[in-house]
């Protein structure tokens, strides 16, 4: 089902399992591509392969095949499970500073 097999024309893909794990890591963590750990290979190569698979509808075929045997009895998703991007913690907030002599409003 995945491109890059020895029987496919053109260059054979690298480790498909490692590539899919890299894409799942990005999806799970919500990090930008540049933050992909080195163990998955160069981030740009992973991104280019991901984009190529997206254009050729590989992901659609994979997900439609997986959806045929879906068992959603144990699926639960709410906002407490969804993680924010690691850089979100450093977002600047606007603070209002009180100067000495400002009166408190009633």
The span from the first CA to the last CA of the chain, in angstroms, equals 68
What backbone phi and psi angles, to 5 degrees, belong to 62? Answer: -65, -50
45-49, 95-99, 101-105 — most confident range = 45-49
Rounded CA separation 29/21 (Å): 12
Q: Between 97 and 63, where is the model more confident? A: 63
Convert the pLDDT of each residue in 19-72 to its tens digit: 899 999 999 999 999 999 999 999 999 999 999 999 999 899 988 888 887 676
CB neighbour list of residue 41: distance below 8 Å, 6 or more residues apart: 14, 18, 19, 22
Helix (H) or strand (E) segment spanning residue 49: helix 43-55
The answer, as to whether pTM is greater than 0.75, is: no
Residue 50's nearest CA partner among 31, 30, 22 is 22
Convert the pLDDT of each residue in 3-19 to its tens digit: 766 666 656 666 788 98
Judged against a pLDDT cut of 70, whether residue 84 lies above it is answered with: no
CB neighbour list of residue 89: distance below 8 Å, 6 or more residues apart: none
């Amino acid at each position: 089902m995945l491109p890059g097999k020895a029987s496919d024309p053109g260059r054979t893909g690298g480790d498909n399992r490692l590539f899919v794990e890299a894409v799942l890591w990005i999806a799970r963590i919500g990090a930008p591509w540049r933050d992909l750990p080195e163990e998955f290979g160069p981030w740009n190569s992973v991104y280019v392969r991901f984009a190529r698979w997206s254009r050729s509808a590989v992901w659609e075929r994979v997900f439609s095949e997986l959806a045929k045997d879906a068992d959603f009895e144990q699926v639960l998703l709410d906002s407490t499970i969804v993680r924010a991007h690691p850089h979100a913690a450093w977002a600047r907030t606007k603070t209002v500073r009180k100067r000495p002599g400002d009166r408190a409003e009633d």
